[in-house]
Structure 1
Amino acid sequence: MTATRLTTPHAPLTITGPVNPEPGRRVTSRGWRLVGYLALVLAVAALLLPFYWMVMSSLKTNSDVFTIPIKWVPDTLVWRNYIDIWQRSDMTTWLKNTLLLSVLVTLLQVFTGSFAAYGFARIRFPGRNLLFLAYIGTIAVPWQSYMIPQFILMSKLHLSNTLWAIVALQAFGAFGVFLMKQFYETIPEELSESARVDGLSEFGIYRRIMLPLSRPALASLTLLTFVTTWNDYLGPLIYLRSPELRTIQLGLRTFISQYNAEYALIMTGSVLSVLPVAVIFLLGQRHFVEGIASTGLKG
């Protein structure tokens, strides 16, 4: 704040007001902002460039996929590739199995993760913190260390070579419990106390209060679980041996081994495997960002 003194015929007039920022500082700030925007644009372009090349390659002939220099836009769009991939492969079965596994595993993980997280966040019992730390500590254990015991267990239960083996192994996840617990702790506990005074049970509090308020976190967990299950390759490779049980990842691998020179069709299959995940991510992007941003903030 500065004061400016003006002289009038009658008396001096003092005007007090904010000082405008210096023009040089404003130009510098605007310049750095433009540099930041340019860096973000370049980062996005570098990230999307491989996907663009994959989509364009799916619309080329085999001889045009790996040409030098690269043809970023094909001379003729070969839409026939998207028909040939369905005729030469069992794409319908692959997509159906992958979608079934992804939906079932996502629903179970969202339910079990949110339900267990409510117990850790709101129920008081001896050893709660120690049990939670031990459960979360399993995230640091590599899956390869207990992969063989799991396979033996599934074989003993006669679930090997069935889709239920994948569902049973992935129905529970420590990451989902951690994510939901962190979000539940941002919800004021006074809401739960008021509900208990009114006679609402713990399950009723979980269903009527906690779940509606935790939609952003649920959306984040749903998206992450769906994408992880959809892109899983090693799990189906170990447990699913029958051709009619193959997922999209296993199916594309067998297709590549049979048609290793059909580069355009391989790119077409890759586009079809990525497209559902991209659509779901775009639809749930706002809730995903909101859930990740608000998780871990206590208020």
Structure 2
Amino acid sequence: MEILQTAAGLQARTEGWRQNGQRIGLVPTMGALHEGHLQLVRAAARENDVVVVSIFVNPTQFNNPEDFRLYPRLPEADATLLQDTGCTVLFAPSVEEMYPQPTVMRFDFGALEQVMEGAHRPGHFNGVATVVSKLFHLSRPHRAYFGQKDLQQVAVIRQMVADLSFDLEPVTFPTVREADGLAMSSRNRRLSPQARAVAPRLYQALELATRLLQQHATVAEVQQQVTAFLQQHPEIELEYFDISNARTLQPLEDGAAPAGQVALCLAAWLDGVRLIDNVVVNLA
């Protein structure tokens, strides 16, 4: 595995691979890697000739400076974890390398970014789209791999790929969970042991919502019961719980029992750490 830190170095590699007819897989990450990331890398290695894994804590997608400051950074441990995954190149640029001058262009994803994460983190998806589009241009992948835990981010990236005619296939893999159901996340490292013991309640809330919807409960009924369930755990501060169309991510009406493919998405604060999770449910 080669480690590159400059855009020019990565572009030279990808240009050579393209000229040799090799297929390139890209796995964009912010580091502090866990098994969810590694599964994406292994999948990319199975499906492509070469794999680029980027590790870059992107400042433009953080609307909370303290969250950016505290985000886990483990470059040596990450490089060690990648050694046996099929990663060809680890791209680990500095902020100055990725942003030699401030960006002035702004992305607008309309209704797609006005709900959930977009509503609570202004500017977040502009930062995501900016850095991912830069990584697409630098690595020129045939496929790019993302986890479903960031469901809204995946939807935004798919929209960007379609709107800007990127010649690549976005690939989404299911959320990887701990044995107790907690979605794997780099932010989990910041939880105290006491908070870590409570954190699986978030997935339990999504499981409760799934059962209720399968029993034909209305959106309002599910919202009420999930909120009541999480209120039993005062350590958890629920930021949002949305029941949405899985394609558009727009919230469903309160009155009726949903049908079709439904996304259950939540964000909550626990021990000063913001956690997100979701499940997608197929309803008759």
TM-score (norm 2): 0.24
Question: Greater share of strand residues, 1 or 2?
Answer: 2
Larger gyration radius, structure 1 or structure 2: 1
TM-score (norm 1): 0.23
Question: Greater share of helix residues, 1 or 2?
Answer: 1
